[in-house]
Structure 1
């Protein structure tokens, strides 16, 4: 290299110039080089849980998110904080599956036939499901003002279509949620769509927040602090005629099923108790659920339980804090 330099250039000047060039190269290289993996903030990845709005679902109350024994928390795709940002039931299509009602306008009545299909990535009706809490598919129906809640189980025909009678005695816009696990993926999926019931719509105000729900002779109280973005434990205690119940019966493999809907947009979360329930078992008076609400705000909770051979639903309005 020295031989290529002009004879009049001094060695000392060459060294100084080389050092200056090295300094510039170092500065440019440092600016272009990727950040140190130990200090770079990872790009968050939202990982949906198998059953619901966020995080836990089954801990099955631990909650059904799953409660299908799927696992929550840290599964290698992000932590609880990331899972807590995921909500389900807001779209009719997800992961290639689509909820397709045969009709989107229905008549009013106490037993209105409703037919729908769930199509897969190929566009054909899904015909193979993996049972989740004893059923291939759970259908949740509620009016947009959060009145008229129903949790029913349609019958599937050979062609993949589903049919069930719905109690649609009041007019308005109704939200329909299909909660299922296609065998092809093994992942719990929740799809939601709206149907309209013709007639004079009279909205029902959202009931106030209260720690007790009274229905059909039963008193159900709720205790616990619901905090957004982290697992919250809610305990429901049941009594009838002033006496706590210790003989709750299994319903779909659990002593209780809890559906939570965010009032602002009806984002959906379905949870189950961690404790399984089998034929002949009895439970109560308390049912405990652990779930993760994705955001602060108002939620409507619907608790299904079975006693004396009948399924009942207790309803609560809850404020989830930051």
Structure 2
């Protein structure tokens, strides 16, 4: 499912500062249980937005062979001697697919030593260029360093895959990296407009309310409150060693951000309030994916957030 010269995407506890700014979110969700979270065919929800945000423009990273156009924001396939490599340039449409990749280091040799981050040695994400179809997977690694991510059904279009990891040896030991590549799913595709922002929405019968102070390039607190049938939810279960997992992608270029909650895990009794430190580097619309678990079921909510 991350050096002041680049945006750190995991475990970044920073002081919250600044004055209040308007926060807006729209949530449309789909959940799954198990070790991955995928929303095959997710189309931003069934309710049309009152006013859609600006349609994403094609990014250089979506063009074949252009995976090096950005550095430090998750849009490059290489950084500081590490490289995200895959022979899978295309994947089939409408059915499950195995995406195989390696992470290489010194001498372009696959590395096999990774530190645990939120209980996993590798977090893998897939997102379509219009920010639909989000999948968060924890792949398996073979002895030779080849990772296999089992993807759910993919809709036709341009997709970006992300590898999020922390080397446990070598020059990058202890550092967070997020690298990405693009992959094409053949077939006729239609771009789905990003929903307009709002402050609350429902997912699987749960109501999620978000309050905060998002400003580009600055750290601000976000608070997510979860309720059901008008009552606070207090039975959130640990998921990846937290009560909620939050991932964000920027509209237009799919820039990546990973925001961790600061709320301590104290057992199967999390909620209703979850605190996050949010640092989104670029102004504009971001699509956030909030994941939380109750009763053994993983709920995944999609959120549109405008950052000034």
The equivalent of 1:284 in structure 2 is 271
Name the residue aligned to 1:51.
9
Do the aligned residues in 1 keep the contact of 2:15 with 2:219 (CA within 8 Å)? no
- Which of structures 1 and 2 has the larger relative contact order (alpha carbons within 8 angstroms, sep 6+)? 2
Task: Report the secondary structure of 2:152's partner residue.
Answer: strand
CA deviations 1:164-197 (Å, max 9, x no partner) are 2112331001111111001122101000111111
Equivalent pair of 1:113/1:164 in contact (CA under 8 Å)? yes
For 1:101-116, what aligned pairs fall within 5 Å after superposition?
101-116=86-101
Contact 1:61–1:272 (CA<8 Å) still a contact in 2? no
| Residue aligning to 1:26 | none
- Select which of 152, 155, 159 maps to 2:140: 155
Whole-angstrom distance in 2 between the partners of 1:241 and 1:116: 44
Find the residue that maps to 2:88 and give its secondary structure.
coil
Matched, 1:144 2:124: no
Pairwise CA distance, 1:121: 2.5
Kindly indicate whether the alpha-carbon contact (under 8 Å) linking 1:61 and 1:289 is maintained by their aligned counterparts in 2.
no
Deviations 1:262-286 (A, max 9, x none): 11211111111123326x3421011
The one of 242, 245, 258 aligned to 1:257: 245
**1:268 and 2:248 are equivalent in the alignment:** no
What SS does structure 2 have at the residue aligned with 1:59? Answer: coil
* CA shift for structure 1 position 59: 2.0
Give the gaps of 5 or more residues in structure 1.
Answer: 1-44, 63-85
| Map of 2:180 onto structure 1 | 192
1:47-196, aligned counterparts within 5 Å? 47-48=5-6, 50-51=8-9, 57-59=11-13, 87-184=72-169, 185-196=173-184
Q: 1 CA distance for matches of 2:149 and 2:14?
A: 26
CA distance in structure 2 between the partners assigned to 1:152 and 1:49 by the alignment: 22
- Tell me by how many angstroms 1:228 deviates: 1.3
Distance (whole Å) between structure 2 residues aligned to residue 61 and residue 286 of structure 1: 19
- What is the match of residue 189 of structure 2? 201
Decide whether the 8 Å contact of 1:88 with 1:268 is kept in 2: yes
The count of residues paired between Structure 1 and Structure 2 equals 249
Q: Residues of 1 paired with 2:279 and 2:8: CA distance?
A: 13
* Structure with higher helix content: 1
Cα RMSD over matched residues? 2.0
CA contact (8 A) 1:233 1:288 kept: yes
Larger radius of gyration: 1
Please say which of residues 106-115 and 156-165 is displaced more in the overlay. Answer: 106-115
- Structure 2 distance, partners of 1:109, 1:98, is 29
- In the aligned structure 1, how far is the partner of 2:159 from the partner of 2:201? 23
Please list every run of 5 or more consecutive structure 2 residues that lacks an aligned counterpart in the other structure.
17-70
Q: Answer whether contact 1:87 1:268 (CA < 8 A) is retained.
A: no
